[in-house]
Amino acid sequence: MSYDVAIIGAGVIGALTARELSKYRLNVALLEATNDVAMGASKANSGIVHAGFDAMPGTLKAELNVKGCAMMPELCKTLSVPYKNNGSLVVAFSEEEMETVKELYNRGIKNGVPHMKIIGKDELKAMEPNLADNVCGALDAQSAGIVCPYELTIAATENAVTNGVEFKRNCKVTAIDFNNGEFTLATTAGEVKAKYIIDAAGAHSDEIAKMIGDESVKLVIRRGEYFILDKAVGNTVSHTVFQCPTKMGKGILVSPTVDGNLLIGPTAEDIEDKDDTSTTPEGLKTVKTFSVKSCPSVSTRNAITSFSGLRAHPVSDDFILGPSKVNAQFIHASGIESPGLSSAPAIAEYLADIITKAMGGVEKNGSFNGVRHDVFRFRHATDEEKKAAIEKNPAYGRIICRCETITEGEIVDAIKAPAGARDVDGVKRRTRAGMGRCQGGFCGSKVVEILARELGTEVNTITKFGGKSNILFDKTK
Amino acid sequence: MLNYDLVVVGGGPAGMAAALKAKECGVEKIIILERAETLGGILEQCIHTGFGLHYFGEELSGPEYAAKFIAEVAETDIDVKTDTMVLDISETNLVTAVNKADGLLKIQAKAIVLAMGCRERPRGALEIAGTRASGIMTAGTAQKYVNIDGYMPGKKVVILGSGDIGLIMARRMTLEGAEVKVVCELMPYSGGLTRNIVQCLNDFNIPLRLSTTVVETHGKDRLEGVTIAQVDEHLQPIESTKEYIECDTLMLSVGLIPENELTKNVGIGIDRITNGAVVDEMRMTDHPGVFACGNVLHVHDLVDYVTLESQIAGEGAANYILGKGSKETVYVNTTTGNGVRYLVPQRVNIKNENDVKLYFRVGRIFKNAKVVLECDGEIISSKKKVKLAPGEMENVIIPAATLAKMTKDSSIVVRVEE
């Protein structure tokens, strides 16, 4: 099969770009090296939709962040993805930091950020009473929000597949050839031919570029560690609370999540191994120390889990978007660090625009439907909706995950969905089964059973997240 | 909407014993709601013996112990709905539940017994650094895989925490052919029963390392090893004692947490130490007509004690429904003195006219100490103990005669004297 476009990497950028391209009459393949979408930076980041005052005026980051932030609410609604416009605060602890706050405000004005204001201590404490007593003031950016990053990726992929994009998992690109105006990609799932490539391979996008002889993508892999705290303390703050930024990033934030938990982190540590998402004792300690500075009541005694995510920091400090100097049919989408998630909807449009302009005269896909199929969420349904759903499908009456109230019906839906779940973590990201207080202690084995049943396989072939992450060995004696 | 005199939430040993006792006391319409496919609760996966020594005077396996109660329930007209999850309890004791067959159920109860049991503390709560490989699970999850599903969850095992489930699983995995390399315990003493340390570790030459913890996990897909380290007196890992141990499985047995989400939703007061409801001597919470018993109230070490406690709750619920029991209520709080971590019940109705047994746990190990009960400054009893350990639940009785002399301003203190 020869495709018009092969997108390498099913993170939030690859997925949204695939969906954007499915608006046109194009054959698009979305190639993912692992067992699921959103397995890199897209599953482990802060989930913040930044207002857009951080990036320097004139950069792609600045332009696409402000644009993406404005697009996010409507996109999330269309894709049934949780989003909340909770606003953000950059908190200053000294007069010197208040100067930084003013600088950020001015930068925001230049970048075109709407609804910002600088507030003093009293107003700040009235808005967020749990902040430390030594705060001086803050930059209040009302357009900022929070979103579930992996759910956005999952939804975008599902919708792209519904609109004709082909999703290939466990399809790691190992070599790229170019002959007669067409690329041939050698992958772990066979050969793929495509006229255009979009390199959205995240931390590995530099390696992909090198496969066509393009050495220009220079990345530093930066790791960030986080804690997720119990919903019992989810309302410690209502805004996303940043401290003043440093050259390593935006610092440790304290934020509610769209699911009602409290998120604290991330650290920023440059590392060598591009897949090393382990947490460290030092990193976790740093998160604790700095989050308490913003909110003294935050305690990791309420932690339900910790995790780390990797971001591909471009040495150039700006997103790398556009045709390669080596081959114009190879489009870079690299170095998408923060505000990458916030910018993602705008980046997808930007990349689709490059492709359609380059190909010239591409017809619109008349049957495109951007609305994601209905996803039933038992925990959000009214009694009447619950009754109706169980009548239609009794599996919605069987609770599998007791902490998050997730039903068997929702788990089966997640497996059967376009580009659906194939492993335990995939079910978890799509349904939240196993994401609660007990972290899958009770429901884990039931999810394994349901996966095996729906996929027609033995339970000991089921993995946590693909590869060799099997959960069970042989049968007992 | 359905109407019942008594709704019992949970059909494990606690729920069954409470329902049976309430029936015996004359309550007519009783229903047990159980989230699993069968009655019996966690006992169903506890295929080892050691249950029933106190209550039945014989040594039974978990399923055997449960079977006795399941059979008794079957002989009564107590209704049972399995595979049924309770979603909510209202201020007015309206219970919302769901299952496949009935859909959404609304049940109005005169009284409710909470018997939801407990869950295991997961990895996330421990702050162990490292990768998120597969092969890291709680001991109870591993127990279900082995004993119910019939699959091996690992071959080379390290166990963190010497709680009873961890000790039992050390033996179980060994018998199934796995190699249990070490059991690490953060504290300088085990949280498990002495008999389990002897029968599950010592008999199989499995080393128990006290004051030792897992500091890091390794392996990208499946777990490949863990780093363990000794801890100092502040429980902080000592860098120079770090040691890598190759393993494909890390089992956690690091504590049990009563599952009180429903309880909290009703607005019932929770004891900060037990993580269970605050109750009186009949196990009634501060929400009239709602009782709690078993591991949802406080974590027990023996199911026999769960049964005994749940019978009290069943009788309490029956009294409440039938308008029996003490006519007057004057509560006196029980107070933990030196060495005592918690006391259940947390308050006693001094007008109840019966002896009241207080259950408690100590905060650390004591040798040759005395358990003292002091009411209104007077020593009521002082009992010598060769050894007191946090892993073993103790009790002390307040005689009815002592209660009869009390007023609302009285004090009840239990303490350890060294």
Asked if B1-120+256-325 and B122-254 have one fold, the answer is: yes
Q: Which of residues 212-231 of A touch B (CB under 8 A)?
A: 228
Residues A195, A119 share a domain: no
Residues A430, A336 share a domain: no
Average pLDDT value for chain B: 95
A476 — contact with chain B (CB < 8 Å)?
A: yes
Please give the distance of CA A403 from its chain centroid, rounded to a whole number.
23
Helix and strand numbers, DSSP H then E, in chain B: 8, 28
Q: Closest Cα to residue B410, out of B374, B363, B364, B383?
A: B374
According to DSSP, the residues that pair with A166 across neighbouring strands are: A29
Token pair of B292, please?
Answer: 């709690």
What are φ and ψ of residue A325, in 5° steps?
Answer: -70, -20
A441 — contact with chain B (CB < 8 Å)?
A: yes
Q: What pLDDT, on the 0 to 100 scale, is given for residue A246?
A: 77
Report the SS3 class of residue B411: coil
Beta carbons of A275 and B220 less than 8 Å apart: yes
Q: What pLDDT, on the 0 to 100 scale, is given for residue B122?
A: 83
Angle at CA B44, nearest 5°, toward B43 and B50? 45
Residues B137-144: what's their mean pLDDT? 95
Residues A239, A138 share a domain: yes
Residue A24 lies in a domain: yes
Band of residue A275 on the pLDDT scale cut at 50, 70, 90: confident
Task: Mutation target for B interface from A34, A278, A435, A468: give the one with most B CBs within 10 A.
Answer: A278
* Per-residue CA distances from A348 to A202, A334, A351 (Å): 14, 13, 5
Beta carbons of B130 and A278 less than 8 Å apart: yes
Is A431 in contact with A468 (CB distance < 8 Å)? no
Across the beta sheet with B225-230, the strand order is B129-130, B212-218, B225-230, B243-246
3-state SS string for chain A: CEEEEEEECCCHHHHHHHHHHCCECCCEEEECCCCCCCCCHHHCCCCEECCCCCCCCCCHHHHHHHHHHHHHHHHHHHCCCCEECCCEEEEECCHHHHHHHHHHHHHHHHHCCCCEEEEEHHHHHHHCCCCCCCCCEEEEECCCEEECHHHHHHHHHHHHHHCCCEEECCCCEEEEEEECCEEEEEEECEEEEEEEEEECCHHHHHHHHHCCCCCCCCEEEEEEEEEEECHHHCCCCCCEEEECCECCECCCEEEECCCCCEEEECCCEEECCCCCCCECHHHHHHHHHHHHHHCCCCCHHHEEEEEEEEEEEECCCCCEEEECCCCCCEEEEECCCCCHHHHHHHHHHHHHHHHHHHHCCCCECCCCCCCCCCCCCHHHCCHHHHHHHHHHCHHHHCEEECCCCEEHHHHHHHHHCCCCCCCHHHHHHHHCCCCCCCCCCCCHHHHHHHHHHHHCCCHHHCECCCCCCECCCCECC
Q: In angstroms, rounded to a whole number, what is the distance separating the alpha carbons of residues B207 and B189?
A: 14
- Superfamily name with CATH number, domain B122-254: FAD/NAD(P)-binding domain (3.50.50.60)
Token pair of B78, please?
Answer: 């107590």
- Domain range holding A399? 378-461
Name the more confident of A300 and A351. Answer: A351
Residue A176 lies in a domain: yes
Burial B116-140 (b: 16+ CB within 10 A, else e): bbbbbbbbbbbbbbbbbbbbbbbbb
Domain boundaries, chain B: 1-120+256-325, 122-254, 328-418
* Secondary-structure breakdown of chain B: helix, strand, coil percentages, each rounded to the nearest 5: 25, 35, 40
Helix axis angle, A12-21 to A149-162, nearest 10°: 30
Query: Position of tokens 């804690």?
Result: A227
Evaluate if residue A374 carries a pLDDT over 80.
no
Q: In angstroms, rounded to a whole number, what is the distance separating the alpha carbons of residues A462 and A456?
A: 11
Burial B247-275 (b: 16+ CB within 10 A, else e): bbbbbbbbbbbbbbebbeebebebbebbb
Residues A377-405: tens digit of each pLDDT: 999 999 999 999 999 999 999 999 998 99
Residues A135-165: tens digit of each pLDDT: 999 999 999 999 999 999 999 999 999 999 9
In percent, how much of chain A has pLDDT > 90?
A: 92
A304 — contact with chain B (CB < 8 Å)?
A: yes
Start-to-end Cα distance in chain A? 47
Is A162 in contact with A273 (CB distance < 8 Å)? no
Beta carbons of A279 and B120 less than 8 Å apart: no
What are φ and ψ of residue B406, in 5° steps?
Answer: -85, 160
Residues B176-211: tens digit of each pLDDT: 999 999 999 999 998 888 889 999 999 999 999 999
Neighbours of A121 (CB within 10 A): 15
Q: In angstroms, rounded to a whole number, what is the distance separating the alpha carbons of residues A163 and A22?
A: 6
- Cβ neighbours of B149 in A, within 8 Å: 445, 449, 459, 472
Residues A243, A136 share a domain: yes
Residues A132, A233 share a domain: yes
Residues B85-131: tens digit of each pLDDT: 999 999 999 999 999 999 999 999 999 999 999 999 887 767 789 99
Instruction: Check residue B111 and report its DSSP letter.
Output: E
Residues A443, A399 share a domain: yes
Residues A327, A305 share a domain: no
Evaluate if residue A107 carries a pLDDT over 80.
yes
Token pair of A52, please?
Answer: 């857009």
Residues A305, A170 share a domain: no
Residues A165, A109 share a domain: no
Catalytic residue among A50, A239, A313, A332: A50
Angle at CA A45, nearest 5°, toward A450 and A427? 5
* Per-residue CA distances from A203 to A206, A273, B148, B320, B352 (Å): 7, 10, 42, 64, 69
Beta carbons of A465 and B140 less than 8 Å apart: no
Angle at CA B138, nearest 5°, toward B132 and B141? 110
Residues A308, A237 share a domain: yes
Query: Position of tokens 């998402």?
Result: A277
| A50 included as an active-site residue | yes
Band of residue A326 on the pLDDT scale cut at 50, 70, 90: very high
Residue A261 lies in a domain: yes
Beta carbons of B100 and A467 less than 8 Å apart: no
Band of residue A361 on the pLDDT scale cut at 50, 70, 90: confident
Min Cα distance A438 → chain B (Å) is 6
Q: What pLDDT, on the 0 to 100 scale, is given for residue A354?
A: 97
Residue A77 lies in a domain: no
Counted domains in chain A: 3
Q: Closest Cα to residue A9, out of A163, A197, A216?
A: A197
Beta carbons of A438 and B119 less than 8 Å apart: yes
In percent, how much of chain B has pLDDT > 70?
A: 100
Q: In the CATH scheme, what architecture does the domain B1-120+256-325 have?
A: 3-Layer(bba) Sandwich (3.50)
CA torsion A81-A86-A88-A94 (nearest 10°) is: -150
Beta carbons of B98 and A397 less than 8 Å apart: yes
Evaluate if residue B379 carries a pLDDT over 80.
yes
CATH code of the domain in which A451 resides: 1.10.10.1100
Residue A53 lies in a domain: no
Q: What pLDDT, on the 0 to 100 scale, is given for residue A346?
A: 98
Closest-approach residue (CA) in chain B for A274: B220
Of the partner residues A441, A460, A464, the one whose CB lies closest to the CB of residue B119: A441
Is B146 in contact with B42 (CB distance < 8 Å)? no
Residue A164 lies in a domain: yes
Q: Closest Cα to residue A469, out of A154, A461, A432, A170?
A: A461
Q: What pLDDT, on the 0 to 100 scale, is given for residue A477?
A: 79
Query: Position of tokens 């019940």?
Result: B345
Min Cα distance B261 → chain A (Å) is 8
- Cβ neighbours of A283 in B, within 8 Å: 129
Band of residue A212 on the pLDDT scale cut at 50, 70, 90: very high
* Per-residue CA distances from B339 to A320, B107, B220, B361, B394 (Å): 63, 43, 44, 9, 12
- Cβ neighbours of B103 in A, within 8 Å: 386-387, 390-391, 394, 397
A299 — contact with chain B (CB < 8 Å)?
A: no
Q: In angstroms, rounded to a whole number, what is the distance separating the alpha carbons of residues A251 and A272?
A: 21
Q: In angstroms, rounded to a whole number, what is the distance separating the alpha carbons of residues B20 and B73?
A: 7
Residues A258, A383 share a domain: no
Q: In angstroms, rounded to a whole number, what is the distance separating the alpha carbons of residues A469 and B133?
A: 7
| DSSP string for residues in B356-406 | EEEEEEESS-EEEEEEEEEETTEEEEEEEEEEE-TTS-EEEEE-HHHHHT-
Residues A180, A234 share a domain: no
Burial A180-213 (b: 16+ CB within 10 A, else e): eeebebebeeeebebbbbbbbbbbbbbebbebbe
- Cβ neighbourhood burial of B288 (10 Å; 0-12, 13-18, 19+): exposed
Beta carbons of A469 and B221 less than 8 Å apart: yes
Residues A116-134: tens digit of each pLDDT: 999 999 999 999 999 999 9
- Superfamily name with CATH number, domain B328-418: Immunoglobulins (2.60.40.10)
ipTM reported for the complex, 2 dp: 0.92
Q: What pLDDT, on the 0 to 100 scale, is given for residue A347?
A: 98
Q: What pLDDT, on the 0 to 100 scale, is given for residue A254?
A: 97
User: What is the identity of the amino acid at A459?
Assistant: V
Band of residue A250 on the pLDDT scale cut at 50, 70, 90: confident
The last residue of a domain, from among A359, A390, A417: A359
CATH code of the domain in which A99 resides: 3.30.9.10
Residues B324-372: tens digit of each pLDDT: 988 899 999 999 999 999 999 999 999 999 999 999 999 999 999 999 9
Residues B284-312: what's their mean pLDDT? 97
Residues A422-443: what's their mean pLDDT? 92
Closest-approach residue (CA) in chain A for B140: A441
Residue spans of alpha helices (H) in B126-244: 139-144, 164-175, 194-196
Count of CB pairs separated by less than 8 Å, A with B: 144
Token pair of B130, please?
Answer: 């490292």
Residue A470 lies in a domain: no
Beta carbons of A472 and B153 less than 8 Å apart: yes
Residue A195 lies in a domain: yes
* Per-residue CA distances from A193 to A171, A174, A187, A212 (Å): 13, 13, 11, 14
Q: In angstroms, rounded to a whole number, what is the distance separating the alpha carbons of residues A220 and A247?
A: 14
